[in-house]
Structure 1
């Protein structure tokens, strides 16, 4: 029974109900098709202060909280082997969308699953490093995750990817995946900058009773598909999606003490790419970090609670930052839940390189807050 709460915590903030709420729209002759969706809306405010020239983002806002629609199917080929496919779209649930109705194809993949040989899949799907290693900390609906470089399922994934994970071998599982970046579309040259790249991630996971251990790595090469900085902020928020061309290594341990309480411990590190900085690269992009995380989840009847704290030591900052997150969730019914979340990034002062030298830009952030509701169908 200890695994029950742990699985709920890993799925994140009552998100485990997604599979249970999926409606089977077709099931005949070994072929099954499921439909799942949710509409989620909330009100938010606060967060990291904007820098000069950046769009304001800390004011109160009525927002969509990752509404989505998913269609998945499977077909039993043999008693052990099945083929499967899934596609999931995101849409704006809080306002009129005059474009195409959906703003993102979040997932789109197909594959083969065998209880004896494991699972292989290709397409656009979440980072296996996040799914297997950082998952115990990925429990918040919006902000709060510092592992996986703060990117969650986006970490060198979701597009042009191929992955494999073994079946459960007495509690052990291993995984490996790779994302392909094509050189097509890049300006041709003799320096090899337009060549294709493969970003690989892999690791192992072990579960026994209420204990869950996982460790892995993820190559973090420069993500050309995001156009450099991808329009994101600084490393200090933990949400910078640029690759530093250095591997990320991480490990987590979690334990469900009973059906109501579980705790988790995590560590992640990435070296500074001194060569890229010496060659004139952005200090913020290529600096490394060490992150320690400690958190817990507690459930009581229809209530669930999460709380996590992180110490992040950044190589390009004099002081570490202490970030934290907390959330409370209430399940009104099997289809409807309400939630509230808090997050403090505690981003430090930012070191900015200028033509006249190096300046320190004082930076501050308030607590980010989010309240809202979700309906699953």
Structure 2
């Protein structure tokens, strides 16, 4: 009787151990499958903006300010070589009527990277020039009155490459492939950049050949103003919670622009102030913008902000001030 009970207990323990091992194997396989799935991320950005134009009245509106949902993934192709992709789709979170859901996209590319050769990626992404030099306009949430740079190459059909860092120095390049059937004319505009980082200081220089049509993969319609290159330089200094940036851009027979930026973080709060100025060639046109921002992080996934813009546009004939006041909130995951 006792021997039978002992044998039954051993059999039960053996069966339970086998079942547990199978369950553990299934959990391990499930975890591996989960690790192989792409990361899903996104945000909803909403803002209320009031604009006042000198001698032309004012308006107020509730806007979507760039809500997106995205997917990204990377995997090891071989030791030291990683393949990756990213796709970021846009939607309007403010309007219900007539809303088409996912109605546009911001970024979509694939690529490979490795410690020994750097990174190459193909598709739609922020361009090499924009990433290297045009920091100030891209910093702010609303930025409708920011000056920005006078470069034409868009963000679509780009083939981009960045070298590894050689003691803080990295080289970057991009070519846009505009084929026969694409919007605009067949062309291959290119961008080149070099960035150097040492301790708290960053320096970047870049150029854009501007060989393409602005109507291609750009938010600006019409042909390029001219075929002259755009050149830019940026210097930034970061000391703890303080970041200071100065940048300058120029294009022959178009004009020059420059800007100064300062940002400081205190706990959950960030404050930023900048001045941008653009001077057109061959005309008396001048544009300047003063921008201030106060941003508060409510949590790791949500922040609110207030931005104010004062823009002065002097055409040589008329001098017009435009003021924007924006209150916004962003939830992201």
Specify if TM > 0.5.
Answer: yes
Task: State the 1:363 CA deviation.
Answer: 5.3
Structure 2 CA distance for partners of 1:120 and 1:64, relative to 1, 3 Å: same
Task: State the 1:316 CA deviation.
Answer: 3.9
Task: State the 1:90 CA deviation.
Answer: 0.9
Query: Residue in 1 aligned with 2:179?
Result: 182
After alignment, is 69-78 or 130-139 more displaced?
130-139
Runs of 4+ more than 6 Å apart: none
Distance across 1 between alignment mates of 2:52 and 2:76? 48
Question: How large is the Cα RMSD of the aligned pairs?
Answer: 2.9
Q: Which structure carries more relative contact order (alpha carbon 8 Å, separation 6+)?
A: 1
Query: Residue in 2 aligned with 1:35?
Result: 40
Contact 1:137 1:264 in 2 (8 A): no
Contact 2:147 2:288 in 1 (8 A): no
Give the structure with higher Rg (CA). Answer: 2
Task: State the 1:321 CA deviation.
Answer: 3.1
Contact 1:70 1:86 in 2 (8 A): yes
Secondary structure of residue in 2 paired with 1:138: helix
* Structure 1: gaps spanning 5 or more residues: 1-24, 187-193, 233-240, 273-287, 351-359
Query: Residue in 2 aligned with 1:376?
Result: 332
Q: State how 1:142-153 maps to structure 2 within 5 Å.
A: 142-143=142-143, 145-149=146-150
- Point out the structure with the larger strand share: 2
Q: What is the TM-score normalised by the length of structure 2?
A: 0.82
Task: State the 1:164 CA deviation.
Answer: 0.4
Distance across 1 between alignment mates of 2:100 and 2:87? 16
Contact 2:311 2:321 in 1 (8 A): yes
Which of 269, 278, 284 lines up with 1:312 in the alignment?
A: 278
Query: Residue in 1 aligned with 2:321?
Result: 365
Contact 1:125 1:157 in 2 (8 A): no
How many corresponding residue pairs? 303
After alignment, is 162-171 or 319-328 more displaced?
319-328
Structure 2 CA distance for partners of 1:366 and 1:48, relative to 1, 3 Å: same
Task: State the 1:145 CA deviation.
Answer: 4.0
Query: Residue in 1 aligned with 2:269?
Result: 303
Structure 2 CA distance for partners of 1:226 and 1:121, relative to 1, 3 Å: closer
* Structure 2: gaps spanning 5 or more residues: 1-29
Q: State how 1:327-366 maps to structure 2 within 5 Å.
A: 327-349=293-315, 360=317, 362=318, 364-366=320-322
